[in-house]
Amino acid sequence: MKGLTDKASWWLLGILAVVLQLPHSMALWGNGNYPTDICVYMRCAGWIQDGLIMYRDMFDHKGPLVYLIYWFFSFAGVYGVWLLDVAILYVVLILIYRMARLYEDEKESMLIALIMGCYWQAPFIDEGSPEWLALPGCMYSMYVGIKHYRDKEYCSTLEIILFAASVAVCLCTKPNISAVLIPIALYFTIHLLRHWNWRVFLRYTAGVVVGLAVIAVPITLWLMSQQNTQELMEAYIRFNFVAYSPTLLRRLLGFFYMTAICLPGIYCFVLITKYGHTRTWRYAFLCCLCLCSLIPTAYIKNGYPHYLIPCIPMYALLFILAWPYIKARRKLYLFTVWFMIFVGVAFMGIRSYLRLMPFEHKHTEQAAMYINHHISKDDHVAIVEPEDRTKWNALNPNYSFAYRLWLQIDAKPASSLFYLPPSISKEQREQAWEQMHERMPKYVICTQEHDSIFTSWGYTPEVRNIYKEYSILVRP
């Protein structure tokens, strides 16, 4: 990479973003083994286009901005989703590179971006999650904060606007993610108070108001037009704070991911502390940053790896600050570079294999073709998953059957809880059964354990043994 320029680095990072998204491409363009979250968001986006009201006609507990983003990109189908994910990863890699350039030359900055992209993107990121959508804003805020610290200058108005917009994006996707931005906002505030200037204060205030308004006002107007404030509060606020117990497997996976992603950050922090010559308050800032970055994962008990995505800006900063001490020790330098790249490539291989695993999507396609042939767009359909949580795991072929089937059915959900996840409360499940009983959907796809319920309502089975467990029942 001798003679590497910033412009050439941007092109190389674009190629890297495409390569790192190859496992995701295999799922979207290959055998239909889509990530479950993407299935839900794309289906909700499609129903929004059809005029259904989010949170009222279909239930999910993510922020409103998630569905609006997918509504915008869903016009291009799975290609739009892939383009969204590549764009997010590209922006994140560019910001890591720009942050590294504050301290290193082009070659070293490109190497840092490559290592970060391989190590943290491949094993720990789940495309489509709210954390993933908010990551560019979090990374940009980190970049602006570190640039401000290094140059000892006030931020520009545009930087403040984008920082405030990043806060609004976090709040409108998943509120706890915004905790990552607290140390940066605190640093801006302390610096402003220590070097008080009325003009700068008014400029900062105006920038914050504009940045928040750019994101919040359109979303608020959209929600007001939907008249679904109560349903929004129930789904987005109350449901997200209802704890439910994870399986032992999920706990073990959560422990593995947390340990794997935290060790490099801890190691970098130790290097900075041992060899760095800096002021005490800088360590206080780093400690505050580490604490606030872990807040988004603190109350969550399921151990999903994408819950750790908000930690990535913190680890990027620690890695960049520790890089001079790593580079000064040749053996440590070689070990760090090759180990982190090896881990990233290995996990890319694992993800590719999982995406290309034999997936019996033909059953999903056959069920969807059968139902679409017998219904109109205004008909209601119900899909009922197993209530036993132990049946919900990535190694079970029934996993996400409802998610992927909904993507191919052109009908309305018979219940706002259109996929009946096991994590819902007993009251919500009873409400879903009441809605289904009231609407009496034309077709019901359910597990055999639910056959007797719908048979008592007068339904008769038409197709049996889909996925060896599901049946299609028709309304009398």
pLDDT in tens, 271-281: 666 665 555 55
pLDDT value of position 4: 58
pLDDT score at 243:
45
Q: What is the DSSP letter of 175?
A: G
Most confident stretch, 22-26, 209-213, 356-360: 209-213
333 with 377, same domain: the answer is no
Mean pLDDT of 248-262: 56
Where does the pLDDT of residue 165 fall: very low under 50, low under 70, confident under 90, or very high at 90 and above?
very high
CB environment 316-339: b (16+ within 10 A), e (fewer)? bbbbbbbbebbeeeeeeeeebbee
Specify the long-range contacts of residues 216-221, CB closer than 8 Å, at least 24 apart: 216/168, 216/171, 216/172, 219/64, 219/65, 219/68, 219/172
| Residues 296, 380 within the same domain | no
Does 457 have pLDDT greater than 70? yes
Query: Which of 65-69, 123-127, 364-368 shows the lowest per-residue confidence on average (mean pLDDT)?
Result: 123-127
Largest CA distance in the chain: 78
End-to-end CA distance of the chain: 70
Q: How far apart are CA 204 and CA 156, in angstroms?
A: 9
pLDDT confidence of residue 244: 45
- Which pLDDT score, from 0 to 100, does residue 31 have? 57
pLDDT for the residue 90: 92
76-90, 193-207, 416-430 — which is least confidently predicted? 416-430
Distances (CA, A) of 333 to 21, 115, 342, 466: 27, 12, 14, 54
DSSP 3-state assignment of 380?
strand
**Global pTM value:** 0.84
Same-domain pairing of 340 and 387: no
The predicted pLDDT at position 435 comes to 85
Question: What is the pLDDT averaged over residues 439-452?
Answer: 81
Is 68:219 a contact under the CB 8 Å cutoff?
Answer: yes
The Cα–Cα gap between 343 and 350 comes to 11
Is the domain of 378 the same as that of 338? no
Domain count, the chain: 2
- Residues 295 and 265 occupy one common structural domain: yes
Check residue 196 and give its pLDDT: 84
Q: Name the CA dihedral angle for 403, 405, 410, 414, rounded to a multiple of 10 degrees.
A: -60
Which of 308, 311, 306 lies closest to 268 in space, CA to CA?
Answer: 311
pLDDT for 108 beyond 80:
yes
By DSSP bridging, strand 380-384 and strand 443-447 are parallel
**Do 304 and 418 fall into the same domain?**
no
Q: Which of 48-57, 87-96, 343-352 has the lowest mean pLDDT?
A: 343-352
Q: For residue 51, what are the CA distances in angstroms to 220, 226, 259, 406, 427?
A: 18, 10, 44, 17, 27
Residue 411 predicted with pLDDT over 80: yes
Mean pLDDT, range 233-241, rounded to an integer: 71
Mean local confidence (pLDDT), 24-53: 76
Is residue 310 in some structural domain?
yes
Pure H helices in 174-279: 182-194, 198-226, 229-232, 248-275
Q: Which of 313, 337, 355 is the last residue of a domain?
A: 355
Q: Based on DSSP, count helices (H) and strands (E) in the chain, helices before strands.
A: 20, 5
Tell me if 210 is assigned to some domain: yes
Does any domain span residue 315? yes
Mean pLDDT of 194-207: 87
The arithmetic mean of pLDDT across residues 413-427, rounded, is 72
Q: Does the pLDDT of residue 474 top 50, yes or no? A: yes
Q: Has residue 248 been placed in a domain?
A: yes
Q: Could you tell me the pLDDT band of residue 393, with boundaries at 50, 70 and 90?
A: very low
3-state secondary structure of 245: coil
CA 87, 92, 97: angle at the middle one, nearest 5?
125
Is residue 369 in some structural domain?
Answer: yes
The residue-averaged pLDDT of 197-212 equals: 90
Report the pLDDT value the prediction gives residue 26, as an integer from 0 to 100: 64
Task: Among 84-93, 124-133, 157-166, 288-297, name the one with the lowest average pLDDT.
Answer: 288-297
Distance CA 471, CA 448 (A): 7
Last residue of a domain, one of 333, 355, 377: 355
Give pLDDT, residue 121. Answer: 64
Asked if 302 and 308 touch (Cβ cutoff 8 Å), the reply is no
pLDDT band at 392 (very low <50, low <70, confident <90, very high): very low
% the chain with pLDDT above 90: 5
Pair of tokens at residue 38: 């993407």
pLDDT at residue 94, rounded to an integer: 92
Instruction: Reply yes or no on whether the pLDDT at 200 is more than 80.
Output: yes
Is position 200 within any domain?
yes
Q: How is residue 208 written in tokens?
A: 């914050």
User: Does 170 share its domain with 317?
Assistant: yes
Mean pLDDT of the chain: 77
Reduced 3-state DSSP string for 34-75: CCHHHHHHHHHHHHHHCCCCECCCECCCCCHHHHHHHHHHHH
pLDDT greater than 80 at residue 370: yes
Q: Which residues contact 26 (CB under 8 A, 6 or more apart)?
A: 352, 355, 356
Residue 213 has pLDDT above 90, yes or no: yes
Q: How confident is the model at residue 386 (pLDDT cuts 50, 70, 90)?
A: low
Confidence of residue 227 (pLDDT cuts 50, 70, 90): confident
The pLDDT value recorded for residue 28 is 62
Asked if residue 197 has pLDDT above 60, the reply is yes
24 inside domain:
yes
Range of weakest confidence among 78-92, 152-166, 278-292: 278-292
Contact 472, 466 (CB under 8 A): yes
Say which range, 155-169, 395-409, 460-474, has the weakest mean pLDDT. 395-409
Confidence of residue 394 (pLDDT cuts 50, 70, 90): very low
Highest mean predicted confidence (pLDDT) among 46-55, 397-406, 413-422:
46-55
Given a cut of 80, whether residue 236 has pLDDT beyond it is no
Residues 263 and 214 placed together within one structural domain of the fold: yes
- Residue 271 buriedness (CB in 10 A; 0-12 / 13-18 / 19+): buried
Say what the pLDDT of residue 360 is.
55
Asked, for residue 1, whether it belongs to a domain, the answer is: no
Residue 170's nearest CA partner among 204, 215, 206, 213 is 215
Phi, psi dihedral angles at 247 (to 5 degrees): -75, 165
Residues 329 and 436 both lie in one domain: no
pLDDT at res. 96: 92
Closest CA to 81 of 34, 121, 14, 17: 34
Beta bridge partners of 474: 443, 460
Of 322, 355, 388, which one is at a domain's C-terminal end? 355
- 102 and 237 housed in the same domain: yes
3-state helix, strand, coil in the chain (%, to 5): 70, 5, 25
Instruction: Verify that 321 and 433 share a domain, yes or no.
Output: no
My answer on whether 341 and 434 are in the same domain is no
Q: Does the pLDDT of residue 472 top 80, yes or no? A: yes
Which residues form the domain of 85? 6-355
Tell me which residue of 422, 412, 417, 411 sits closest to 55, measured CA to CA. Answer: 417
